[in-house]
Amino acid sequence: MTRSNKPAHISHEGRVVLLAFLAGLPGSATALYLLWSSGYPLRYELTFTTLVVSAWLGFAFAVRERVVFPLQTLSNLLGALREGDYSVRGRSPKPDDALGEVMREVNTLGSTLREQRLGAMEATTLLRTVMREIDVAIFAFDEHQRLRLVNRAAERLLAAQPEKLLGQTAQEIGLEACLDGPEQSTLQASFPGGAGRFGVRRTGIRERGLPLHLIVISDLTRALSEQELQAWQRLVRVLGHELNNSLTPIKSIAGSLASIVAREPLPEDWRDDMRRGLTVITSRSESLSRFIGAYARLAKLPRPQLQPLEMAAIVERAVSFETRVAVKVEAGPPLTVQGDPDQLEQVLINLLRNAADASLTTGGGVEIGWRRDGAMLETWVKDEGPGLSSTANLFVPFFTTKPGGSGIGLVLSRQIAEGHGGALTLENRTDGPGCVARMKLPG
């Protein structure tokens, strides 16, 4: 037979009783020794022995109960908290002792957990309500590409009930391209619930430690149609205005010339009238031709050919084209930007020309400089002109307040900046008269 060398396990309660028993052993043994060695009658010795042993064992077990009962109470409280019952509270007769502090901390923990659970329930309810009512399709797939979550918009997009969708793979419901494609994309697709252009975003989340792929699909058809309609309305309005400006005088002059030719006999100065009329018709036709050419240029802007460019060199070349006013260059740090040299140079030339036109009206100057603004590289052009009375139509194609202006310079410049992943803004200066144009590009 194999004998175990491990010591016998004694429970916590057993150790408490043993320690209480050992604590009373010296006094009890001494009392019994004195009692039995003093020559008392036997009945007295047995009676006092029974009293001493009973008191000794009674106090030992009382100590056990005094220690074990609060621990059992704490165990029950913690068990209730673990099960989610935060209404149970512990009570101590003396809240200022060590046991009272423990009970108070456990009660505080229960109150905190109750508030947190209430907040989590409210947040979960809000999230579910938002997901249910939002007009964006939301799907969540697990690591095996099986659908685990779907909202109402997604149900409408796929024209199916959730019990038929949950558990199916992305390939079975036609969304494998959304899982395998880029994280953010735009696609032309046809789903059972509708067809059109959709914006797709994919991100990774975790639920209970398990990875999920969250896919958000938004229908862009309506928004794009509204923007396209607004763009067409603006374009037709501008085109109609420009065409009327050219065709109205052409029609009037052509009618006048036709009436002159129809006279019998012809007036003596009919040749001079014909020559002047045809000159006006030619001038207006050329103006209309330039307008159409400007529109074609704006609509056919090529994609930028990116290459490393030194900002100082681009600014120096752009400044050399402006000779009407003195341009002050406030040199920034040596910076390199990825851009198309021809397009960025054209932007700076346009901005400097506009700044010079504004400053010439007041006799002011023009400044240009560059700096780093976080992750962006900012190039600014300041003038000392009269400033901007309104910024509503700054970037409207063919809108201009300058005599002989084409109205495409700022629009073309903003398209170039946005084509490089940046932005172009124009605003009045706060440090003096005039305005400042800021072009920000990824640095």
Residue at which a domain ends, from 21, 54, 82: 82
Q: Are 236 and 252 part of one and the same domain? A: yes
Q: Are 323 and 404 part of one and the same domain? A: yes
Geometric angle at alpha carbon 210, from 209 and 215, rounded to 5°: 125
- Grouping H, G, I as helix, E, B as strand and the rest as coil, residue 260 is helix
Least confident of 100-104, 314-318, 376-380, 384-388: 100-104
Q: Are 349 and 252 part of one and the same domain? A: no
Q: Are 17 and 72 part of one and the same domain? A: yes
Q: Is residue 113 part of a domain?
A: no
- Grouping H, G, I as helix, E, B as strand and the rest as coil, residue 361 is coil
Q: In the predicted model, is pLDDT for residue 12 greater than 70? A: yes
Residue at which a domain ends, from 219, 242, 275: 219
The 10 Å Cβ neighbour count of residue 214 is 15
What is the tens place of the pLDDT at every residue in 237-292? 666 666 776 677 778 888 888 888 888 787 777 888 888 888 878 877 776 776 66
The reported pLDDT for the residue numbered 406 is 47
Q: In the predicted model, is pLDDT for residue 364 greater than 50? A: yes
Q: How confident is the model at residue 334 (pLDDT cuts 50, 70, 90)?
A: very high
- Grouping H, G, I as helix, E, B as strand and the rest as coil, residue 442 is strand
Q: Are 204 and 274 part of one and the same domain? A: no
In contact, 410 and 426? CB cutoff 8 Å? yes
Beta-strand relationship, 327-330 and 366-373: parallel
The reported pLDDT for the residue numbered 1 is 42
Q: Are 32 and 138 part of one and the same domain? A: no
With the C-alpha atoms ordered 188, 157, 153, 184, is the resulting torsion angle positive or negative?
A: negative
Which residues are registered as beta bridge partners of 214?
Answer: 140, 203
In contact, 350 and 412? CB cutoff 8 Å? yes
Distance CA 229, CA 236 (A): 10
Number of domains making up the chain:
4
Q: Are 199 and 267 part of one and the same domain? A: no
Distance CA 327, CA 304 (A): 27
Distance CA 32, CA 51 (A): 10
What is the tens place of the pLDDT at every residue in 33-48? 787 887 778 787 788 8
Q: Are 49 and 161 part of one and the same domain? A: no
Q: Is residue 78 part of a domain?
A: yes
- What are residue 2's phi and psi, to 5 degrees? -85, 130
Which residues are registered as beta bridge partners of 200?
Answer: 185, 217
Residue 155: CATH number of its domain = 3.30.450.20
CB proximity list for 203: less than 8 A, separation 6 or greater: 183, 213, 214
CA-derived radius of gyration, the chain: 45
CB proximity list for 435: less than 8 A, separation 6 or greater: 358, 382, 383, 385, 387, 388, 426, 427, 428, 429
Q: Is residue 34 part of a domain?
A: yes
The reported pLDDT for the residue numbered 405 is 47
Q: Is residue 397 part of a domain?
A: yes
Q: Are 343 and 428 part of one and the same domain? A: yes
What is the tens place of the pLDDT at every residue in 152-173? 888 888 888 888 888 888 888 8
Q: Is residue 114 part of a domain?
A: no
From residue 43, alpha-carbon distances to 12, 46, 47, 186 in Å are: 38, 5, 6, 104
In contact, 334 and 304? CB cutoff 8 Å? no
Q: Are 340 and 359 part of one and the same domain? A: yes
- Top pLDDT among 387 and 39 is at 387
In contact, 304 and 339? CB cutoff 8 Å? yes
How many CA atoms are closer than 13 Å to the CA of 226, on its beta-carbon side?
4
Distance CA 160, CA 171 (A): 15
Residue at which a domain ends, from 299, 324, 359: 299
The reported pLDDT for the residue numbered 239 is 66
Give the range of the structural domain holding residue 369, as residue numbers without chain letter: 307-442
Is 0.75 topped by the overall pTM?
A: no
In contact, 391 and 401? CB cutoff 8 Å? no
Geometric angle at alpha carbon 204, from 136 and 144, rounded to 5°: 100
The reported pLDDT for the residue numbered 328 is 92
Alpha helices in 83-206 (DSSP H): 98-133, 152-158, 162-165, 176-180
Residue with tokens 């009512």: 133
Q: Is residue 119 part of a domain?
A: no
Q: Are 402 and 332 part of one and the same domain? A: yes
Q: Is residue 5 part of a domain?
A: no
Distance CA 427, CA 390 (A): 9
Distance CA 45, CA 38 (A): 9
Q: Is residue 120 part of a domain?
A: no
- Top pLDDT among 288 and 431 is at 431
Q: Are 251 and 204 part of one and the same domain? A: no
Distance CA 175, CA 187 (A): 12
- Top pLDDT among 304 and 288 is at 304
